[in-house]
Structure 1
């Protein structure tokens, strides 16, 4: 916590380095945690700026990572990573922002649980899209930029919509990939829609590999009997096992599921691979405890995914779930057990609205958005409802890629969005 009257600018720092021919600048800013002028708590926010040779005067493109709870990708060479970066660097200097609570932006970890639960819940309530947008604005002002551009992947696209709702004057063009969130809909609607899509993708998988349906049903029986234990000590519950369906939401995740189900369940290989493939239990706890809040546009979530669990999934244990979170994991997943009280209170949080449809319609937003026809995490029908509020953002609908199309296409999806925004392709 900063003392009253502290000069935040004195805490800001920028350093430079080289990664091959890439010029990298690393920026750390100290920013207010809240919008309350009487609240002197601060956090650090980290961003890395990548510039190609000769690109020193190019405009900025801010990349907002998916999540919540994931830091920005770390650039590397041979090949250049992230895979879309080369395309972006042709026309922009790329800012990769570690969203508050992740990476080097005052990350949230188990140590915060030393504080009373109410304090932890209050602190985490400031780590949503609204706080991330305030941090981005602080960076923009620090760099002396009047307008810049955004690339929002998944949750980063949700954050982009809030940016357009509140600070559209700061934005030139916006590009979204699997990130057109539903507006003015309860979380229950979104999760129900996603269950339907997971049922479809489950059936698609079993039509391709019919031998795996009975194998998975057998694994569910083992989970119900408490017979699957991970190296972490977690006794895998049925709901955790079925959450492997999140793999069916990416271009090549089905292959990981295939290889797992080829292994004997009583082997070390199976247990280790299963531990690595299950979502939510590793790395940043924000991904679990704040996940449903990502869909909370002015509502209380109250374990929405659990409350709308379909009868079809109860009847057929071969069906897999996706990015659906369950309360029972606070009892069965060792890494989440310490977060139980926090998760329970966050589930009852009356979240403020994030999106303003009227503001979006008057934002004069331009750019392009990739909408994946088979997306199991961000449903196409709700995405198109949202797209209607920003008609200047061209929509690219494709069934060629799943939710991770930005990364999986090695820049192809991003180039298509650039071409659409430039008028070189038709929507």
Structure 2
């Protein structure tokens, strides 16, 4: 571990921490990788001995959010915690993995084998490896957003002695569902989000149809080289899972075209904005590992589950929608083989992604027996009809974890812990402390 360095932002003191951990925790004497984490403490509490709160970002594949000062839920957390924002292995400043670095691992098969060490099980073992150096061995509270909640559930299954409490927002996973079952539950939910968007903005039905029809004849190239096809355009539906996502999608669609001497064309401004939403350049592990986070059956590959299940939902077929008069439905948190041909950030990893999709031998991530005997205080915000995480799956898991308290709400979408500011975290802290 290198010596930490501290600096200040308004209202907070930040400290950079660097660690080395085993790539494979079952081989502690083998290859090691670097982890980065940022400590945040209120400037007036810096000298105090405060309990620690570990934040695990959603994803997979996203580094911890870069806050300025006391933004969002940090305002509440810093009232009584020292916070650690961990860049999970392979993300941010933690030995990042992408099209530029993965080739150093060797062949696509060797890259795929390497990536098997970047799921929730390894992330939790990283947390346990660095905890003694930060807390002196004391347990800490974990706050897991989305995929971070999957990690927190694994934490409860395998290392509950490291936890004072677990707080989960939009991230209670099914303990048993396969990737196929996850997407079988997801597509009807995604369709509901589409229909709600079009009910709010009926003018977007024609706008989306016009854009989809244009792309069906003339796929566009985005500024970064991304090939914008009709399918890629539909994947903008990922926006519909956020609190303001429907509104932002509406604004994106409303000025897509400009009139040129050659006729209507998609505007540079539109194509630039779409590039920001669609490119995986900043988070390639999201695409590579997204279905692997659901893989728990040693005998079953994920086998491009979202693509297979989509075929059973013809209303998402844009060509059929354009042949009739129905709306073009957007997809959601789904990864498809075409992502690895359309996106220059993913294209060099196409074979690696295919090998991960066909891989067997995945290990279970949750231990129902341990969770049924859980003694760690746990509270979870479950968002009603969350587009990203199935509410029924989450509630079934809530019933399976001894002592877990839920807050089921339709006040927020999947990003409630960010959009709701301090309120969401305050509610969960009150639940684990039996204050409500």
Report the TM-score when normalising by structure 1. 0.92
Residue 169 of structure 1 corresponds to 161
Superimposed CA distance per residue, residues 333-360 of structure 1 (whole angstroms, 9 cap, x where no aligned partner): 2221111011000111222111111111
Partners of 2:119 and 2:293 within 8 A in 1: yes
- 2-structure distance, mates of 1:367, 1:185: 22
Residue 410 of structure 1 corresponds to 421
Secondary structure in structure 1 of the residue aligned to 2:220:
coil
Deviation at 1:420, TM superposition (A): 1.9
Superimposed CA distance per residue, residues 4-49 of structure 1 (whole angstroms, 9 cap, x where no aligned partner): xxxxxxx443222232342222211111110233751000111111
Deviation at 1:363, TM superposition (A): 2.3
The one of 61, 65, 68 equivalent to 1:73 is: 65
Residue 45 of structure 1 corresponds to 35
- 1-structure distance, mates of 2:184, 2:255: 32
1:97 equivalent to 2:96? Answer no
- 2-structure distance, mates of 1:270, 1:19: 34
Residue 31 of structure 1 corresponds to 21
Deviation at 1:236, TM superposition (A): 1.2
1:338 equivalent to 2:348? Answer yes
Superimposed CA distance per residue, residues 353-405 of structure 1 (whole angstroms, 9 cap, x where no aligned partner): 11111111122131310000020100100000111122312100010100000
1:60 equivalent to 2:52? Answer yes
Superimposed CA distance per residue, residues 61-117 of structure 1 (whole angstroms, 9 cap, x where no aligned partner): 10000011111122313xx32x11010111211111110001111111222224211
- 1-structure distance, mates of 2:227, 2:92: 29
Secondary structure in structure 1 of the residue aligned to 2:24:
coil
- 2-structure distance, mates of 1:41, 1:381: 40
Secondary structure in structure 2 of the residue aligned to 1:388:
helix
1:318 equivalent to 2:328? Answer yes
Residue 131 of structure 1 corresponds to 122
Secondary structure in structure 2 of the residue aligned to 1:273:
helix
Residue 388 of structure 1 corresponds to 399
Residue 277 of structure 1 corresponds to 277
Residue 308 of structure 2 corresponds to 307
Superimposed CA distance per residue, residues 304-336 of structure 1 (whole angstroms, 9 cap, x where no aligned partner): 000001122224451111011110221222221
- 1-structure distance, mates of 2:344, 2:217: 18
The one of 334, 354, 379 equivalent to 2:390 is: 379
Partners of 1:239 and 1:326 within 8 A in 2: no
- 1-structure distance, mates of 2:197, 2:356: 35
Residue 118 of structure 1 corresponds to 109
Q: Which runs of 5+ in 1 are unaligned?
A: 1-10
- 1-structure distance, mates of 2:52, 2:227: 47
The one of 387, 411, 426 equivalent to 1:400 is: 411
- 2-structure distance, mates of 1:39, 1:60: 29
Superposition pairs of residues 203-218 of structure 1, within 5 angstroms: 203-218=195-210
The one of 233, 236, 256 equivalent to 2:228 is: 236
Partners of 2:226 and 2:275 within 8 A in 1: no
Partners of 2:371 and 2:402 within 8 A in 1: no
Residue 109 of structure 1 corresponds to 98
Partners of 2:380 and 2:428 within 8 A in 1: yes
Partners of 2:219 and 2:229 within 8 A in 1: no
Partners of 1:183 and 1:297 within 8 A in 2: no
Partners of 2:219 and 2:230 within 8 A in 1: no
Residue 7 of structure 2 corresponds to 17
Report the TM-score when normalising by structure 2. 0.91
Partners of 1:59 and 1:91 within 8 A in 2: yes
Secondary structure in structure 1 of the residue aligned to 2:227:
coil
Q: Identify if the C-alpha distance between structure 1 residues 418 and 226 changes in structure 2 by more than 3 Å, giving closer, same or farther.
A: same
Secondary structure in structure 1 of the residue aligned to 2:221:
coil
Deviation at 1:193, TM superposition (A): 1.3
Partners of 1:62 and 1:151 within 8 A in 2: yes
Runs of 4+ off more than 6 Å: none
Residue 293 of structure 1 corresponds to 292
The count of corresponding residues between Structure 1 and Structure 2 is: 411
Partners of 1:29 and 1:45 within 8 A in 2: yes
1:354 equivalent to 2:365? Answer yes
- 2-structure distance, mates of 1:74, 1:271: 26
Secondary structure in structure 2 of the residue aligned to 1:76:
coil
Partners of 1:364 and 1:390 within 8 A in 2: no
- 1-structure distance, mates of 2:39, 2:227: 43
